[in-house]
Amino acid sequence: MLSPRSRGKGSRRCPGRDGGLGKRRPTVWRKQVVHAVEEFPKGSGELTDLTYSCPFGHSAAEGIYLFDQLIAGTGILYQAELRRGELGRVFTIRVPTSFAVRVSAIIAQIEKR
């Protein structure tokens, strides 16, 4: 009889070996910003750059997904660009100046979580 701690060969299988969990592919953050635009239409006015830091414990893809889902209901056009900061993942969000206050409120709402 096997000891109660023995679990057979499965307990020895590491993620990289046969039958193991395997590596997860990192999610590309650009696929998570489905509501972002490549270019702003002509006549959209002046643009403002805002800084958005991903919440602690979230990857860049998860952080920008949270932002994208909250801004989707507002209909505000935006562009996102990833910068690697000293303290983590930081995005530059470019929006029309007329919507900068509303987008700043959305960013503050995410950072409170």
- The model carries a pTM of 0.73
pLDDT at position 71, please? 93
Q: Interior CA angle at 64 toward 26 and 82, to 5°? A: 80
Domain positions in the chain are: 26-112
pLDDT at position 40, please? 87
Beta bridge mates, 83: 90
State which CATH number among 3.30.70, 1.20.1300, 1.10.150, 2.20.28 fits the domain covering 26-112. 3.30.70
**pLDDT mean values, one per 10 residues, the chain (113 residues):** 58 58 72 88 88 87 92 91 77 93 93 78
pLDDT at position 50, please? 94
Return d(Cα 47, Cα 40) in angstroms, integer.
9
Q: Interior CA angle at 35 toward 32 and 36, to 5°? A: 85
> What letter does residue 40 receive in the DSSP assignment?
P
